[in-house]
Chain A
């Protein structure tokens, strides 16, 4: 079963906050098109490694290399699109 796009985005925001321990950030404080890394949420390359594991653990989707990761982790919108595409490919 796939989630609606809005549900998926809020689940991803929750996952970012709890999984990466972003104490000062609320889900409403993350814009769907905001960059996740560096200037956006201020996350770094170590967070990226953790995020890869979190996505695999929670969605069963592997991020094979940096190329794919860079695109998928551009924003919440990009990550939701990436997951939806992977899920529909498996379906």
Chain B
């Protein structure tokens, strides 16, 4: 332990919840991660005729929670359903709502498409003559802020609420914001994470950009040819370590620090020298008061696109120097897909499970790592390992870079 000046207060994660293509609970997700299974399969959520790519990491178990009133249940977007189910799991486990007043619990979620899928269906029904008028659904369900509204309403969370949308770093920024709120003492607990539903707009858009891989994505592989989209939600309950200890709550991991930065370079491509990625990682380490050699594992953004993986590998080399060769670096996107606005949260959850359970999640579908990268990319199979600190990277279109530091509790 080399932390010289610890941040003002230690923050820990005391509740976990998820719904994604690998499983509908944290236990199922952890088992699938460790087994190295992939959730990428033919996409059936909508017709893929006309698209180059036909696969995605789709959530199959997508029913709205049965205990909700019928009037609410049928208005929920797919993103809302994922967020509600993950929040229910996280809150039940943490027990935070039994001890902290609703006004002292904050909520900050990331996402990029909200209820777009339902808006698309509403528009299609009208255009195809299946509906004679437009329904109120698009305005009720499509704004990115609605999932947080619904979660707050259902679980009676009345503290500060934010919905963040910074492309694929959205929920990484949500976790960082939650950490800041707790350090500032603005509230006593935060429900944070992200939710994202597959929809035609993102699928068609990434397809048009030739960013989608025709086969399941293979991050960091020499033959990588693009990303595979995914969907789902991950929700964390975070609070001060002191409060968690006082109430006897289980700390799964410590949320140690975070950093973000902007490339100011291009709408889709990362800066060729990785300046933004490097800055975000350095800021995250400084914010956590850690040195590069304190970190044992990086859960990379690792989309499987030729550019991202090359720039990210070089950026890791630049930040970690000699320490890079003894780091484990893996991408979980070959398993759970690229879940866009939920990626930061789902991958932070994977990182928390790695720290807690003592394993390194593999880079699923990686067969031939690029030989010039001197990185341990954990191809194919998970490994047992005791990890002290880990970084979770999220890089979004438009040059939105976020790194979150997590530590063994």
Give residues in A with beta carbon < 8 Å to B. Answer: 21-25, 41-44, 46-47, 49-50, 53, 57
CB closest residue in chain B, given A47: B71
Question: CB distance B74 to A46 under 8 Å?
Answer: no
CB closest residue in chain A, given B74: A21
Question: CB distance B69 to A42 under 8 Å?
Answer: yes
Question: CB distance A24 to B136 under 8 Å?
Answer: no
* List of B residues within 8 angstroms of A25 by Cβ: 70
Question: CB distance B135 to A22 under 8 Å?
Answer: no
Binary per-residue interface labels of chain B (363-399) against chain A in the complex, 1 for a CB within 8 Å, 0 otherwise: 0000000000000000000000000000000000000
CB closest residue in chain A, given B140: A46
* List of A residues within 8 angstroms of B71 by Cβ: 42-44, 47
Question: CB distance B74 to A41 under 8 Å?
Answer: no
Question: CB distance B136 to A50 under 8 Å?
Answer: yes
* List of B residues within 8 angstroms of A47 by Cβ: 71
Question: CB distance A22 to B140 under 8 Å?
Answer: no
The minimal Cβ–Cβ distance linking B3 to chain A, given in whole angstroms, is 51
Can you list 22 contacts pairing A with B, beta carbon distance less than 8 Å? A21-B74, A22-B70, A22-B74, A23-B74, A24-B70, A25-B70, A41-B70, A42-B69, A42-B70, A42-B71, A43-B71, A44-B71, A46-B75, A46-B136, A46-B140, A47-B71, A49-B136, A50-B135, A50-B136, A53-B133, A57-B132, A57-B133
Interface size class of B (residues with CB under 8 A): 10 to 19
* List of B residues within 8 angstroms of A43 by Cβ: 71
Per the bound structure, the CA–CA distance linking A57 and B74 in Å amounts to: 22
Return the 3 tightest CB-CB contacts between A and B, nearest first: A42-B70, A42-B71, A44-B71
CB closest residue in chain B, given A53: B133
CB closest residue in chain A, given B75: A46
Give residues in B with beta carbon < 8 Å to A. Answer: 69-71, 74-75, 132-133, 135-136, 140
CB closest residue in chain B, given A38: B71
Interface of B is mostly: loop
Per the bound structure, the CA–CA distance linking A46 and B140 in Å amounts to: 10
* List of B residues within 8 angstroms of A46 by Cβ: 75, 136, 140
CB closest residue in chain B, given A54: B133
The minimal Cβ–Cβ distance linking A45 to chain B, given in whole angstroms, is 10
Per the bound structure, the CA–CA distance linking A57 and B131 in Å amounts to: 12
Per the bound structure, the CA–CA distance linking A53 and B133 in Å amounts to: 9
* List of A residues within 8 angstroms of B74 by Cβ: 21-23
* List of B residues within 8 angstroms of A57 by Cβ: 132-133
Most chain A CB atoms below 10 A, which of B69, B71, B140: B71
* List of A residues within 8 angstroms of B132 by Cβ: 57
CB closest residue in chain B, given A25: B70
* List of B residues within 8 angstroms of A23 by Cβ: 74
Per the bound structure, the CA–CA distance linking A22 and B136 in Å amounts to: 15
* List of A residues within 8 angstroms of B136 by Cβ: 46, 49-50
Per the bound structure, the CA–CA distance linking A23 and B66 in Å amounts to: 13
Per the bound structure, the CA–CA distance linking A91 and B96 in Å amounts to: 63
* List of A residues within 8 angstroms of B135 by Cβ: 50
The minimal Cβ–Cβ distance linking B122 to chain A, given in whole angstroms, is 11
The minimal Cβ–Cβ distance linking B301 to chain A, given in whole angstroms, is 38
Per the bound structure, the CA–CA distance linking A47 and B135 in Å amounts to: 10
* 19 additional contacts (CB under 8 A) given A42-B69, A57-B132, A57-B133: A21-B74, A22-B70, A22-B74, A23-B74, A24-B70, A25-B70, A41-B70, A42-B70, A42-B71, A43-B71, A44-B71, A46-B75, A46-B136, A46-B140, A47-B71, A49-B136, A50-B135, A50-B136, A53-B133
The minimal Cβ–Cβ distance linking A83 to chain B, given in whole angstroms, is 19
* List of A residues within 8 angstroms of B69 by Cβ: 42
CB closest residue in chain B, given A45: B71
The minimal Cβ–Cβ distance linking B139 to chain A, given in whole angstroms, is 10
Per the bound structure, the CA–CA distance linking A25 and B71 in Å amounts to: 12
The minimal Cβ–Cβ distance linking B241 to chain A, given in whole angstroms, is 42
Per the bound structure, the CA–CA distance linking A46 and B72 in Å amounts to: 11
CB closest residue in chain B, given A58: B132
* List of B residues within 8 angstroms of A42 by Cβ: 69-71
Per the bound structure, the CA–CA distance linking A42 and B75 in Å amounts to: 13
* List of A residues within 8 angstroms of B75 by Cβ: 46
* List of A residues within 8 angstroms of B140 by Cβ: 46
Per the bound structure, the CA–CA distance linking A57 and B132 in Å amounts to: 9
* List of B residues within 8 angstroms of A50 by Cβ: 135-136
The minimal Cβ–Cβ distance linking A52 to chain B, given in whole angstroms, is 12
* List of A residues within 8 angstroms of B70 by Cβ: 22, 24-25, 41-42
Per the bound structure, the CA–CA distance linking A2 and B70 in Å amounts to: 33
Per the bound structure, the CA–CA distance linking A3 and B71 in Å amounts to: 30
Per the bound structure, the CA–CA distance linking A47 and B102 in Å amounts to: 29
